[in-house]
Chains A and B, each alone.
Chain A
Amino acid sequence: MNAYHLFWKRLRPYRTRLALLLAVIGPGIITANVDNDAGGITTYSVAGGNYGYGLLWMMPLVLIALIIVQEMSARLGVVTGKGLADLIRESLGVRLTTLILSLLVIVNLANTVSEFAGVAASMEIFGVSKYISVPVAAFVVWLLIFRGNYKTTERIFLVASSIYLAYIISGILAKPDWSEVGKAFYTPTFNLNIEFVTLFVTIIGTTIAPWMQFYQQASIVDKGIQVEDYGYEVLDVVVGSIFAVVVAAFIVIACAATIYKQGIRIETAKDAAMALGPLAGKYAQTLFALGLLNASLFSAAILPLSTSYSVCEAFGWESSLSKNIKDAKVFFIIYTALIVVGALCILLPIKSLIRAMMASQTLNGILLPIILIVMLHLINDRRIMGNFAMNRWFNILVWITVILLILLALILVVVSVFPVLFR
Chain B
Amino acid sequence: MPYISQLMGRPIADIDGEVIGSLSEILAHKVGEVSHPKIVAIEAKKGSHTLMIPIADVAVLIGPAIALHKRKSHIVPYKPDEDDLYLIRDVLDKQIIDTNGVRVVRVNDLQLTRIENDYFIANVDTSSSGLLRRLGLDAISKRLPNKGKRSAPTGNISWDDVELLSIDQPMRLKVPREKLAELHPADLAEILSDLSRQEGRDILESLDIETLADTLEEVEPDFQVSLLEGMPNERVADVLEEMEPDEAADLLAELPKDRSQELLQLMEDEEAQDVRKLLTYPDDTAGGIMTTGYITIPPDITAEQAMVVLRQLSKEAEVYYYIYITDSQNHLLGVLSLRELVLAEPQTKVSDIMEKRVVTVHLEDTQDECAQIIAKYNLIAIPVVDDDNQLHGIVTADDAIDKIIPTAWKKRLPRLYH
Task: Give A contacts to B, CB under 8 Å.
Answer: 16, 19, 26-27, 81-83, 86, 89-90, 93-95, 98, 149-151, 154, 215, 218-219, 221-224, 226, 305, 309, 315-316, 318-324, 327, 383-384, 386
Contact = CB atoms under 8 A, between A and B. Distances in A.
Given A81-B199, A315-B106, A222 B412 contact: no
A302 to B, nearest CB: 9
B141 interface: no
Contact of A150 (B108, B135, B167, B416): B416
Interface of B: 93-95, 103, 105-108, 126, 131, 134-136, 167-168, 170, 196-199, 201, 226, 229-230, 256, 258, 411-418
A224 B197 CA distance: 5
Contacts of A324: 411
B194 to A, nearest CB: 8
Contact of A19 (B196, B230, B256, B415): B256
Contacts of B106: 89, 315-316
Contacts of A321: 412-413, 416
Contacts of B229: 224, 226
Nearest to B169: A383
A226 B412 contact: no
Contacts of B416: 150, 218, 222, 305, 309, 319-321
A93 B95 CA distance: 13
Given A150-B413, A150-B416, A81 B170 contact: no
Contact of A219 (B134, B135, B230, B418): B418
Contact of A94 (B134, B413, B415, B417): B134
Contacts of B135: 94-95, 98
Mostly, the B contact residues are: loop
Given A90-B168, A94-B131, A309-B416, A316 B108 contact: yes
Contacts of B198: 81, 221, 224, 226
A223 B258 CA distance: 22
A322 B256 contact: no
Given A315-B131, A316-B95, 14 more contacts: A16-B258, A19-B256, A81-B198, A83-B196, A89-B93, A90-B93, A94-B134, A95-B134, A151-B418, A219-B417, A222-B417, A226-B229, A321-B412, A324-B411
A305 B258 CA distance: 37
Contacts of B412: 320-323, 327
A94 B418 contact: no
Mostly, the A contact residues are: helix
B221 to A, nearest CB: 14
A328 to B, nearest CB: 9
B168 A81 contact: no
Nearest to B89: A383
Contacts of B136: 95
Contacts of B226: 223-224
A222 B170 contact: no
13 contacts: A26-B418, A83-B196, A93-B134, A151-B418, A219-B418, A221-B196, A223-B226, A224-B197, A224-B229, A226-B198, A318-B103, A320-B413, A383-B170
A82 B136 CA distance: 27
Contacts of A26: 418
Nearest to A215: B417
Contacts of B94: 90
A26 B103 CA distance: 29
- Kindly list the 7 A-B residue pairs having the minimum CB-CB distance in the complex, ordered from nearest: A316-B106, A224-B197, A81-B198, A219-B417, A322-B412, A94-B134, A222-B417
Nearest to A323: B411
A218 B417 contact: yes
A126 B134 CA distance: 52
| Centre residue among B126, B226, B412, B413 by max chain A CB count within 10 A | B413
B415 A222 contact: yes
A383 B418 CA distance: 28
